[in-house]
Structure 1
Amino acid sequence: MVTVSAEESLDHGVPAPMRRGEVFTIHATRDDRSMITHRILPEIAVAQARQLNDAGWQVHISELGGRAFKPSEFYQLLSYKRIG
């Protein structure tokens, strides 16, 4: 299952997770199943990824810049001051 949210334009010159309109991709696998979901709000991405992790899925979140965040690092997606 793939869910894609509407994208906003990117603000160039701003560090990766602070860009307005950043796309966060949730990667989840369990047994022989995998799921990829895209979100533009880090709070929503983290909430969904935490739910999947709690349900037994192997989860990480990646950003457009390619950095991957494992569950113990999800807080880093929430630790910056949002723009806009």
Structure 2
Amino acid sequence: MTRDDIKKFIKEEGLRGYNFFEDRMDMENEIVIVNDSNQWIVYVTDERASKITGSEKMFDNEIDALDNFLKRLRALNILRK
């Protein structure tokens, strides 16, 4: 899976509530993925835009991180319906 694949899924499925490698402050209730010196981190924010304790998962490769990000984003969008 690549970043372009994720962008395609986001568009096709109308997924919302994410920060996809964006250089900005986290917002409330979103799934975040960042790259920090050869480590990819995926986590969830709460209603105050704070990282939820225990939600952070670190990966040593982008493919696994992207897969986890997409799974979490899909779950968040199911909960929003």
What range is the shorter-chain TM-score in? 0.3 to 0.5
| Structure with the higher fraction of residues in helix conformation | 2
Which structure has the bigger radius of gyration? Answer: 1
Point out the structure with the larger strand share: 1
TM-score between both structures, scaled by the size of structure 1: 0.36
